[in-house]
Structure 1
Amino acid sequence: MSTDLKTDNKKTIFSILVSGILVGAGFQIGFTEIPSWKEVIVAGTASPLISAVLIMLTNLIPHDIKHKLIFTRLFNEMPAGRIHKLIRKDPRLDVIQAQTKWPEIFAKDTTADQRNSFWYQKIYKPVKEIPGVQQSHRDFLLYRDVFSGFIMLFLIATGWHWFGDRTLIGPILPSVFYILGIFTFLSLLAARFTGKRFVINAVAAAQ
């Protein structure tokens, strides 16, 4: 199912990455100046090609690496490992009812890895076909892969700045890196938020 959700997201990921590239190109070339025909061709041709490559590259990055970056944890990075804390923070959920139904996730001797496994097997899988759960899963996968794409784009821009052909567009301007940094940071926050929301929405559907 996650593969199908990722396939559904491809067009949106492509559109977001192209938007980021075009905004960066605007800062690189200049919004107030009329670009030359060569700059138009380079920007127009490169944007979809680079985005297509980025989508391919994001699929090559291991999921656990993406998750470690998004949740900024080296170990037990998935939010389901902290489900007992997330449940207490969501006003939609009845903590007492959750403790009664799933005492395992609130037990002090339960590890984060065990909580994550329990959430997946006992909470998420029975409700994964519910539209609200599917949508929250799709949102998380979307922003996770958008974040990965902007990370790759940032690395490509850095490589071009140091080793690229400067006769085409010149060195990459600092403003371009600022823009890429903003896009990357916002997609990171979106991925982190939707990841936690995905976990909680599954709990709300199963409760």
Structure 2
Amino acid sequence: MQNLKDQNKLSLAALTGMPLLIIFVLEVGISETKSVIDYVTGVGFVALAVTLLVLLSDVIPQSLKNKIVFLRLWNELPGHRCDRLCFADPRLEKNELQTTWEHVFGGEICESERNALWYRHIYKPVMDEPQVQSAHLKFLLYRDVTASSFVILSILIVWSVSGVQLPYLGTIHPWAIVIEATFLLCTLICAQTYGKRLVVNATAIRTAT
């Protein structure tokens, strides 16, 4: 059976490539003066960039991706805050959670330890449930897309500051950074949403069993 990250490869390539294709059209433009070779070369650049980014997604440490997504240097995963997330969900009773799962949701548990406890006692027993797997799959997808978009945005900013003229592309288009930054913000929000949903869904299913 494929692991979750392998299942996401095609979706990761497609989502990462979308803003790059838009930026490519802006850079190259649509004009009669452009030859087929110009467009083929540009598409080749995009395909190569997407391939490298997909490969890079396996190299970037998970901890760094999580820091980028949740904008935290420490205790970045939502499992560290599972108490607050679950107490706010209408499907879950705060008193029941604190009574039945005191070793996970008790007020005396420090934030740095809570994620490991949630993973062991809540997530692991229900990790194969469809709702849990779906949220986990989408979290991993949007987390990897966010990390790739962050890399792309960093490169675009360096390109803009340096003023370098690239073959077939020239200087950077003024809208390129805006497009990639907007896309990054959207994927970051999606990754955060599915990461939190994973925590709450797993807890809801675990407490029902």
Measured in 1, the distance between the counterparts of 2:73 and 2:102 equals: 27
Aligned length: 205
Task: Look up the match of 2:50.
Answer: 51
- Supply the RMSD in Å over aligned alpha carbons: 1.9
Measured in 1, the distance between the counterparts of 2:84 and 2:156 equals: 39
Q: 1:86 deviation in Å?
A: 0.5
Q: 1:164 deviation in Å?
A: 5.0
Cα-to-partner distance string for 1:157-196 (whole Å, 9 max, x where unaligned):
3444437553421111120111000111111111111111
Task: Look up the match of 1:86.
Answer: 85
Q: How does 1:2-21 map to 2 (within 5 A)?
A: 4-21=3-20
Give 3-state SS (helix, strand or coil) of 1:117's partner.
helix
* Structure 1 contact 39–169 (Cα < 8 Å) conserved: no
Measured in 2, the distance between the counterparts of 1:27 and 1:40 equals: 12
Task: Look up the match of 2:38.
Answer: 39
Measured in 1, the distance between the counterparts of 2:76 and 2:149 equals: 21
Task: Look up the match of 1:151.
Answer: 150
In structure 2, the gaps of 5 or more residues are: none
Greater fraction helix: 1
In structure 1, the gaps of 5 or more residues are: none
Q: Which amino acid aligns with 2:20?
A: I
Q: Among the aligned pairs, what percent are the same residue? A: 33
Measured in 2, the distance between the counterparts of 1:109 and 1:44 equals: 56
Q: What TM-score, normalized to structure 2?
A: 0.90
Q: Which moved more, 1:32-41 or 1:145-154?
A: 32-41
Give 3-state SS (helix, strand or coil) of 2:73's partner.
coil
* Structure 1 contact 58–145 (Cα < 8 Å) conserved: yes
Measured in 2, the distance between the counterparts of 1:89 and 1:108 equals: 15
Q: How does 1:175-186 map to 2 (within 5 A)?
A: 175-186=175-186
Cα-to-partner distance string for 1:65-123 (whole Å, 9 max, x where unaligned):
11111111111111111111001211122222212211123323211122101110000
Measured in 2, the distance between the counterparts of 1:121 and 1:167 equals: 52
Give 3-state SS (helix, strand or coil) of 2:3's partner.
helix
Q: Which moved more, 1:78-87 or 1:94-103?
A: 94-103
1:76 aligns with 2:99: no
Cα-to-partner distance string for 1:124-183 (whole Å, 9 max, x where unaligned):
000001111111100100000000111122233344443755342111112011100011
Q: 1:17 to 1:136 in 2, by over 3 A?
A: same
Q: Which amino acid aligns with 1:126?
A: P
